[in-house]
Amino acid sequence: MRPLAAVPAALLVGAVSGAAGTLLHQQWWGLALAMGTGLVVLAWLPPGVVRLAFALGWWVPVARGALERPAGGFLISADTAGWSFLAGSAVLLLAALATVASGRRRPADRSGDHGVRRTAT
């Protein structure tokens, strides 16, 4: 599968995972499952835009859950579980941002090229 074709799928999977983590992070097993899954998927995806798309998809529902709802209240409260989930989500996003450049193709190293060269006469 081409990397750019996988971007919408990575965004969708990240959004669903982030939403599930936002809803379940108050339970100890929900927090552990969400963060563990996020880290495993981020490590499994190749560096570059696909990994970044997953992390951005994850971050959108998490950021929305941290904002006040129209009726008042928050989905992510200011307690240990909430701050842990926000910190873990920030680490996921920063790790994806830090590895974007490592996913680019680099030009071939020609320093050891011993091909035929034209000599000046």
Q: Where are the domains of the chain?
A: 3-103
| Dihedral angle, C-alpha 94, 68, 16, 50, nearest 10 ° | -30
Rounded distance between C-alpha atoms, residue 3 and residue 7, angstroms: 7
pTM of the entire structure? 0.76
Model pLDDT for residues 12-34, shown as the tens digit of each residue: 989 999 999 999 888 899 899 99
Mean residue pLDDT of the chain comes to 83
Residue 23 and residue 64 in contact, taking contact as beta carbons nearer than 8 Å: no
55-81 per-residue burial string, b: 16 or more CB within 10 A, e: under 16: bbbbbebbbebbeeeeeeeebbeeeee
Does residue 108 carry a pLDDT above 60?
A: no
Model pLDDT for residues 43-82, shown as the tens digit of each residue: 998 888 889 999 999 999 999 888 888 888 888 888 888 8
Alpha helices for 25-121 (secondary structure H): 28-44, 49-66, 80-98
Does residue 116 carry a pLDDT above 90?
A: no
Does residue 1 carry a pLDDT above 70?
A: no
Residue 66 and residue 76 in contact, taking contact as beta carbons nearer than 8 Å: yes
